[in-house]
Chains A and B, each alone.
Chain A
Amino acid sequence: MRDHKDLNSKIYTVSELNSNIRKSLESSYSDIWLEGEVSNFYFQDKKHMYFDLKDEKSKIRVVMFHHHNRNLLFEIEEGLHILVNGYISVYEKRGEYQLIALDARPVGKGSLILAFEHLKEKLEKKGYFESILKKRIPVIPGKIGIATSAGGAVISDIISVLKRRFKNFHLILRDVNVQGITSADEICNAIDDLIEYGVDVIILARGGGSLEDLWAFNTEMLADKIFNCPIPVISAVGHETDYTISDFVADKRAATPSVAGEIVILNKTEAVENLKEINKKIKNLLKSKISKYKREVGFLINRRIFIKPELMLGRFRQAAGEARIKLMENLREITAAKAGSVSEYYRRVDERNILRKIYAFKMEIKNKNIVMISNIKNYLLFKKNELKMILKNLQDNNPIAVMNRGFALIYKEKVDKNIKGIDEVEINQKVRIMLRDGVLKAKIFDRIYKKLELGFKNED
């Protein structure tokens, strides 16, 4: 066995060696990206993540602490292919080296989109995108807060838009990294600082980039911060076609950072013009109202009474004069009539008395009417009966009716005069006997005197 002194070399303690290796590894692998498949995944108390990353031949231990993994847009799980950013360190207690992960992404853009959709759906269910919860952006915010990179083109773009629209705007920039592992955390802190400082609206702005570049704006952490922000937030991330989670949660989405400059404050020139227009309008409205009333007043004023009131007075004067004369005349008449009995005069004039008289007359007329009508009625009835009698008589004495009953009329042969007595005809004289239905020609052959009696039947 060789003496260790013979080797003439440094003897390390275990701690020393592990510490040295740690330092060496940490400086050599301070910022690396590693791609592999997740295995032996362990999520300690839902805080720190422990897993292995492996390929076909090898594997490495990975740790991702809570403050790094809470920003993850996706869930790390067994078998998932991921890209991890971090540094190599040594767990000295056990002499094991491992990768300390600061950020992780699913490999392939498809996975990112999937993760984005997953979070979007989750937040939508939580009501983060509800339009009724969106706060109104003030028209003229006294202080505009903005969280973006002070060195980028975005801030100067926004400033130039603001200058064009509203000269005396007040902008407060809170400088943040809008890209990289820390960006989500930084933007959240910036929001807190701007709230604390006191601004009226907050713009979150960033230029265009890949889905990975815009990562911070797709984190649940920032979504929570925006949702709970008491001040209205405008999300102005990327190009018009880029949509981030913050766009959906924010009170207003600006398609581009420049658009945010337009949304956040009104155009002062336009506003002043608009105010001028309104002032002109209300002045004109009042003017036309006044001239309308003037016209009405003018119409009244032009009436004669207002132009020559003395004319009206003259007319009254004349009427008064006439009335005076009449009054005097009446007075004289009354005085003259005083000789008669005043009470008699009043009695006669008494209205009730007249009414009574009218009433009496009315009654009299009414009674007379009744009598007259009944007289006429009686007369008519009498005449009617008389007419009846005449008609009956006429019927009874109608020769045709008599012949209908079996009587006959006898006429001489050539004279249209009927024979009433037997002496009116000679023996052997020809006569005509008229019956109901015709004429019989006959010759008288005898004459017997006999008084006509009822019941007379046959005579031979």
Chain B
Amino acid sequence: MKIEKMSFEQSMEKLEEIVKELENENISLEESMEKFEMGIKLSSNCLKKLNEAEGKIEKLTRTKDGKLIADELDLEKEK
């Protein structure tokens, strides 16, 4: 699976795996480099996912003709 396609959870899981693998004494230098590179990619993917969401608060309503519409929510108006 490509790292960019991975969810935050999947990336985190893989990242923890990599930490464990790197902690293994018997791993070769080449492998260590590979794992390290992958780890860096995974953690930046995690960061990306953390910043991906839009940051919106909306209110969902169904119009008379049955369409669903999401508008910005103003809590003051609702009271």
Residues of the A chain whose Cβ atoms lie less than 8 Å from the Cβ of B75: 150, 155-156, 159
Which residue on chain A has the smallest CB distance to residue B54?
Answer: A170
CB 8 Å contact bits of B47-79 with A (1 = contact, 0 = none):
101111111111111100000101001010011
Q: Nearest CB to that of A290 among chain B residues?
A: B29
Residue of A nearest to B33 (CB): A286
CB distance from B40 to the nearest CB of A (A): 7
Restricting to A258-293, which residues have a CB under 8 Å from any CB of B?
268, 271-272, 275, 278-279, 281-283, 285-286, 289-290, 293
Is A196 within 8 A of B39, CB to CB? no
Q: A170-B54, A170-B56, A286-B33 are in contact. Are A193 and B46 (CB under 8 A)?
A: no
C-alpha gap A293/B29 in the complex (Å): 8
Give the size range of B's interface with the partner: 35 or more
Q: Are B55 and A169 in contact (CB under 8 A)?
A: yes
Closest to A147 in B: B60
B57 near A197 with CB under 8 A, answer no
A181 proximal to B (CB < 8 A): no
* A142 and B8 contact, CB distance less than 8 A: no
Q: Which residues of A contact B16 (CB under 8 A)?
A: 278
How far is the CB of A188 from the nearest CB of chain B, in Å?
A: 14
Chain B residue at minimal CB-CB distance from A281: B19
- Chain B residues whose C-beta falls within 8 Å of the C-beta of A271 in the assembled complex: 46, 50
State in angstroms the CA–CA spacing of A156 and B19 once bound together: 40
When each residue 30-42 of chain B gets 1 if its CB lies under 8 Å from chain A and 0 otherwise, what string results? 0011011001100
Q: How far is the CB of A84 from chain B (nearest CB, A)?
A: 31
Q: How far is the CB of A160 from chain B (nearest CB, A)?
A: 11
With an 8 Å Cβ cutoff, the count of chain A residues facing the other chain is 38
Q: How far is the CB of A149 from chain B (nearest CB, A)?
A: 9
Known contacts: A193-B62, A197-B60, A290-B29. The answer to whether A283 contacts B36 by CB under 8 A is yes
Q: Quote the shortest CB–CB distance from A177 to chain B (angstroms).
A: 13
A373 to B37, CA, bound (A): 85
Q: Contact: B46 with A275, CB < 8 Å? A: yes
**Residue A83 CB within 8 A of the other chain:** no
Given contacts A278-B19, A286-B22, contact A173 B39 (CB under 8 A): no
Of the candidates A172, A197, A285, the one whose C-beta lies within 8 Å of that of B32 is A285
28 A-B pairs, CB-CB below 8 angstroms? A139-B9, A140-B8, A140-B50, A140-B52, A150-B78, A168-B51, A169-B53, A170-B53, A170-B56, A171-B73, A172-B59, A173-B58, A173-B59, A173-B73, A175-B59, A193-B60, A196-B68, A197-B68, A271-B46, A272-B47, A278-B39, A279-B40, A282-B22, A282-B39, A282-B40, A285-B19, A286-B33, A290-B32
